[in-house]
Amino acid sequence: MNSAGNLVALNTIVRREFVRIMRIWTQTLIPPAITMTLYFVIFGKLIGSRIGQMHGFTYMQYIVPGLVMMSIITNSYGNISSSFFGAKFSRAVEEMLVSPMPNWVILLGYVTGAVTRGLIVGGLVLVIALFFTDLHVAHPLITFLSVLLGATVFSLAGFVNAVFAKKFDDIALVPTFVLTPLTYLGGVFYSVDLLGEPWRSISMVNPILYMVNAFRFGVLGVSDVQIGVAFAVMLVFVAGLSIVALQLLKRGVGLRS
């Protein structure tokens, strides 16, 4: 397939994913918005008023970047894992694999759709946050790149999950037992400087910590980790997961019956 054909195929997958997101917007957009609003009310207003400032910002301002990033990565992950598994369940993936479409086009199409949902939800949560506090983006480019890389990392992770999943229950296992604990230990609600050992050391090997802090630095200008290290970690995960995903597609692991 030539480059023009690849572009048509990529556009078709991305458009289908976008239409899917908007068609079931009551499931893809509204629930995370409601959940994050409750976080803002409970943690930001009620608990935050008793905590005071953190790194020179109100507690509400401090947790907003973490909550936005949390919504982005969970929705990016959830979108691609459910969408690709649904395609695998209906045997649509087999049709794509036997077509002239390159594997990288399939992967990029699904990842782009998942990142799109993550960015839409993240933007929606950010707008909701402005009703509770004032925010001024300190570093717009870092903010955008951290969001893009964070969403890409967990889109790729969701893709790998969908490839290995054998039933719909397998899709929920990783978010429940892996993603949620990593999120709460990723510095969303606190600075890791407040943690004692061994929790601080454990947190430092959590990839979500670097994503949250990169985004927090972009928005507020403060971070618990070096920004260069944070971006290096995200790029390594993007490269590693991309290679794994492409190899799985090439070998047809869990896809061909």
3-state secondary structure of 222: coil
Residue 257 pLDDT grade (very low, low, confident, very high; cuts 50, 70, 90): low
Q: pLDDT tens across 34-68, in order?
A: 998 888 888 777 777 778 778 888 888 898 999 99
Residue 199 pLDDT grade (very low, low, confident, very high; cuts 50, 70, 90): confident
Question: Does the pLDDT value for residue 256 go beyond 70?
Answer: no
Q: Report the distance separating Cα 129 and Cα 64, nearest Å.
A: 7
Q: What is the pLDDT averaged over residues 222-249?
A: 94
Note the pTM of the prediction, 2 decimals.
0.91
Q: pLDDT tens across 218-235, in order?
A: 999 999 899 999 999 999
The residue among 100, 36, 38 whose CA lies nearest residue 66 is 36
Question: Does the pLDDT value for residue 254 go beyond 90?
Answer: no
Name the helix (H) or strand (E) containing 234: helix 227-251
Question: Does the pLDDT value for residue 196 go beyond 90?
Answer: no
Q: Which amino acid is at 232?
A: A
Angle at 201 between CA 200 and CA 202, to 5 degrees: 90
